[in-house]
Structure 1
């Protein structure tokens, strides 16, 4: 990461997550590390409701290869993925910059930009003013020392503040990071949408579909089904893209949405209903056992009833990662046995709660 030999290695892997899901991310990381073929004996450190997890290597070992091998896109519960230096604790109020600069000198790091971040907690949000106060003088010092410069491989330096007297320096790489601050895709609630759940589907499209595919994949005139549609938050997103929608739910739909003339409301069992012809999209946000949702999604994909699907899995209070892993394994097995070619991704989105969102595209 620099032309000189660094004396301080990136011995930590720092990942952000939703507060309260640290143990789930830690369990996921333990499984992924066990199958990654990395021989380093690491420690996984989680702070309950802290909003982040640290993977720590023994002294003298770097975690760059592990961070690269287990990509952010392949993880479910992580929002951001950084190689990191050991935390800087007990920083003096009179001079917080000197320890940062000393550590960067020892690491030999360089980057094209600097971002200040904090955990997605009330304590983290309270650090905003301190981050702003440090941002300009730190940038000035980093430019002077040529740590911050052009043509640094698109690397980004993250100053992750965990309190007023502690922080951790991390480095992210293009193609293996979230481009959003704190790894959070923030969206504005659209006027006229029937419920806030509408943001889950919009965020899923941003997360799983490259922008250059939107015109093709979310084209006006496409067809879709929304299982568990009422009151219509997800159907609203589909209609907003110009799609004709089957809304399947025994509950009432939003009257304004129904006046669009683009929604056919059917009071049917969403786990059993099938369309009269193949559709482009299936979306599903039903409050059902995850295994029943998986069976339904597999039935649609194997039967050729849709090409794309986004659906949520409502998770139990405990063993969330294990539940996700078992459900995804079951879906993959069902599709593989049926000879279906597909792309599958899963993520715990910012607008999700006790759930994860899954995207599957049946490949032609």
Structure 2
């Protein structure tokens, strides 16, 4: 089922957590709400789930109105048929795995034969077959989160909401469960909204990403579009762009780094106030990889680090401008700290962006 959010606003006293937000999630789509802590992403999810009462707006799932401030409609959470998985596992340690997963069906007074079948089918779905009789307190963190997921899936929800469900797990387990979640969502064709502040997690799990800042959505798009074409320097910074330099416009294809004599050729850009040149560290060449077609600069090598799969360098340019460069472990820079090195920045690797983006028009499902 699709989810439609229109004009959603949520106040906590004088503070505005969500500002006039419009969002559509298509049937079977995985949409990730991505942003830093306090941007309003969890508040938006809690409004959809019915755990927060919005100040204004309208929320529908599959055409059914769950909330409408103008008409006084506010469907209670237990009648919305929404599965939700939280950051904390929220399972009962004194119960077995079977009892935890069966709990919502027991509350709905489903007959025992159907409960038994649905619980065992769901445990198999999440990779916990054979764990039904195990005490929940004996499980690992990853197994507990699978139980929480199974407890939501066993209800055959219309949509699933996941609020940073992997953040309490170690990196290796988080990576594995991330892949399992994506495969499961796609296999079930389940409409999903996933909240995270982890950009790698968002890129891996989303059909589309909705970037949130200050209670509003500032960019919506496919993961590769969000990664390659951020609308602002603040979005680029959040997405891990390592070099963000204040610049002044020379013309539509040239900028000068502020307080320096460094001029850069760039792809055509629109004029705006408070411009920044955004350059990913992995797009910058150094040493023998520099070609004449690039913006060629010289600087002093400040640091060099071997990181296993890659090598990282920091180079200071004239005027105290500084670049972070990420190179391959197979072509490490043969220079010592303090040496002068050549740096090459491809013209199309420089994105000139305003510091912040305006909120886009009402979003439509892809």
Measured against the shorter chain, the TM-score band is under 0.3
TM-score, with structure 1 as normaliser: 0.28
Larger Rg: 2
Higher strand share: 2
TM-score, with structure 2 as normaliser: 0.28
RCO higher in structure (CA 8 A, sep ≥6): 2
